[in-house]
Chain A
Amino acid sequence: MFIQQLFNGIMQGGLYALLAVGFALLFGVLRLINFSHGSVFMLGAYLTYIFITNLHFPFLLAGLISIILSGFVGIVVERISVAPLRKRKMPFWLGMITTFGMALIIENLSVTIFGGSYRSFPTPIKMVGFEILGAHVTNIQLLTLGVAMLLMILLVLFTQYTWLGRAFRAVSQSEDTSSLMGINANLIVALGFFISGVLAGSAGILVAMYQNIVSVNMGLGVGLKGFFASVMGGIGSIPGAVLGGFLLGIIESLTSAYISADLKNVISFTALILVLMWRPMGLLGKEQL
C-alpha cells in the first residue's frame, strides 16, 4: 500500500517536476512568472490529439510536431506579452498579468475552436501492468516517468555543458553584462520561452497518455501546481524545481491515501507555506528575492 502510493506520488511528481522546470527556467532568466505555462501544456496535448485523429499522423510525428509548435507558441507569448515589457524596462512581475492575459486568449480561443468537451486520447501503446516491489505499475506510467526524467536530464546537460547553455546562464546572472560580452539577450530570452514551451507541450502529451483523456481545461489547475512545485524547491533553480515537483507529487498521493483525497491540495499548500517560512528561498534556492 505504502509503496504503491509512493510510486503514484513519484509518477505524478515527475510530471509536476517537468512543469516546474519550465517555470524555473524563465524565472531564472527573467524573474518572470509565466502564467500561460498551463495553456501551452494543454495546447501540446490537444494538438497531438488533433493531428492523430483528424489528420491521421503517426503518433511520434504528431507528438513531435505539436511539441515544436508548443515551443513556437512559447515564442509568440514572449513576443506579445513579455518583449514590450522588456523594451520599456517595466518591472517583470507585471509579466504575471500579461502572461495571464495570454492564457485567457489561448484557452478561450481553444474552447471556441475545439469545443470544451473531454475526448479520449489515442495512446499508441497497449497498456500492460506488472508488479515491482509489490506496487502495481503500468508500462505507460514507466514510459511517462522515463521521458520526463530524460527531458530534465537533457535540460541540465544543455544549460551546464553547451555553448548556448552558458550564454543562457550568463544572461540570467546579468543581462547588461552579458550583452556587453556579445550575447544577444533577446535571442536567449526567446530561446528560454521556446524551451519552456517545449517542456510544457511534452508534459501535456505525457499527461494525456497517462490519463488517456484530453480537454481544453486540462491546463487550468496544473499550471499553478507546477509553479508551486518550483517555488517549493527554490524558484529559479532547476534541480530545486525537480525536487519540489517530486515532493509535491509524493505529499499529494500520500495525503489522498492516508488522510483525505479532498484535502490533498490543502495539505500541499500548507506544506509550501511551511517550507517558505523555514527557508524563504525554497529548498535548494540560493538567493533571497
Chain B
Amino acid sequence: MNNPKLKWPSVWLFLPIVLIILPFFFHNQYILQIANLSSIYIILNLAMHLMMGEAGLINLGQAGFYGLGAYAAALLALEFNLPFPITFLAGGLISAFVGFVVALFSMKLKGLYFALISLSVAEIIRIITLVWMDVTRGPMGLPGIPRPKLFGYSFPSNNEPYFILMVILVLITYLTMYWIQHSNFGLALNTIRDSEHAAASLGINVFWNKTIAFVIGCFFTGLAGSFYAHFFTYVGPTFGWHQTMLVLTMSMLGALAGLPGAVMAAILLTTLPEILRPLAMYRQVFYGVLLIVLIIYGQSYLGQRLKRRLKVDRLQTQDLQKGGQNNG
C-alpha cells in the first residue's frame, strides 16, 4: 500500500459516476432498465479489464462464468429458498471456485492456449445448462426467481431500487479494481503481462498472481450473473460465446482510457443496440459493422486522440495490444 502511484481517484472517475446517476432524473422504466443492463455489463467489463488489461489473460470463456453465477443464484433461491444476500454472494463465490479449479490446470499454458481452454470450459458449462434437464430445465430455463429482499425490504418490480443496488455494486467493483490497479499486486500483474520471464526473474510468482487475478475476475463475473438472475427473474441457456465477444469488444475499446474507459465502453455498447432498434431487421448487421469500425478505428485513431487528451497511463493501450502475444 505504500505505493506512490496510489492516489485518490482522479476527476475522470466522476464522468462515469455522472453517467450512472443520470438515469435517476428520467423517471422512465425503459431507460432505467437499460441502465441496469449497462451496469451488469460495466461489472463484466471491469472484471474483463482486470483479467485481460492488467494480467494479459485472454479469457474467451467469460460468458460461461457469467452463466454459472446466474444459474447458481437461481437454483439456490429456487430449490433451497435461501435469502437474497446469500444467493447473491454464492453466485460470485461458486463462479470464483470453478475459476480457481480451471486456473489450477490451465494457468501454465500460454496466451492463446489459455484462451482456448477458457472457451472450452465456457462451452461445457453452457451445454450442461442446456442438457441437464432435471436441474436446469434445459432450453426452457428457470423462471420465477424471487426478487431481492434486503433487511426486510422486498424489491418491487420497478427498476429504481435495483438501480440503487446496482450503483453500489458498480462502485464496489470499480474501487476494488482501482485499488488493485494501484497496488503492488497490480504492478506484479502488469509485469507478468509484459513478460512472464522478466516477472519470474524479479521473484514474482507468475502462476499464483495470474490465478488470483483470474479468480477475482470470475468472482465479479459471477456476481454480475447472480444480479442478472434476480433482476430478470429468469435464466436460460443463453450465455454463449457471443456474450464473451461483446464484452471482449467493450474491453478493447475501454482499454483506451483505463477504468473510466471500461465503464464508458460498456455503457456505449449496451445502449447502442437500443438506439439502433428502429433499424429492426438490420440492427444486428449494423452492430457487426460497428464492431469492426470500433475495433479498427477506435483502437488506432481515436485511441491516439483520447490518450493525448486524457493523459492516461502512457503504456495502457500498447500493453493491452501486446497482451496476447508477449506472454512468453
Query: A-side interface residues toward B, CB under 8 Å?
Result: 35, 80-81, 84-85, 88, 90-91, 93-94, 96-98, 100-105, 107-109, 111-112, 224, 228, 231, 235, 262-263, 265-266, 269-270, 272-273, 276-277, 280, 288-289
Contacts and interface: CB of A to CB of B under 8 A. Distances in A.
Q: Which of B124, B128, B249, B300 lies at the interface centre, i.e. has the most chain A CB atoms within 10 A of its CB?
A: B124
Contacts of B248: 96-97
A101 to B, nearest CB: 3
Nearest to B285: A108
A260 B120 CA distance: 19
Contacts of B241: 224
B131 A94 contact: no
- Taking chain B's interface residues, is the majority helix, strand, or loop, or is none over half, making it mixed? helix
Contacts of B322: 91
Nearest to A103: B288
B117 to A, nearest CB: 6
A108 B288 contact: yes
Given A91-B324, A93-B112, 17 more contacts: A101-B291, A107-B284, A109-B285, A112-B281, A263-B131, A265-B124, A265-B127, A269-B121, A269-B124, A270-B124, A273-B106, A276-B113, A276-B117, A277-B105, A289-B112, A289-B113, A289-B328
A107 B127 CA distance: 23
Contacts of A263: 127, 131
Interface string B100-139: 0000011001111100110011011001100100000000
A42 to B, nearest CB: 15
Contacts of A100: 245, 291
A136 to B, nearest CB: 27
A97 B241 CA distance: 12
A111 B322 CA distance: 37
B127 A102 contact: no
B321 A91 contact: yes
Contacts of B300: 88, 90
A28 to B, nearest CB: 14
Contact of A84 (B109, B245, B296): B296
B295 interface: yes
Nearest to A271: B120
Given A269-B124, A273-B117, A273-B120, A97 B110 contact: no
B289 interface: yes
B252 A94 contact: yes
Nearest to A113: B281
B56 to A, nearest CB: 12
Contacts of B285: 104-105, 108-109, 112
4 interchain residue pairs of minimum CB distance: A104-B288, A101-B291, A262-B131, A105-B288
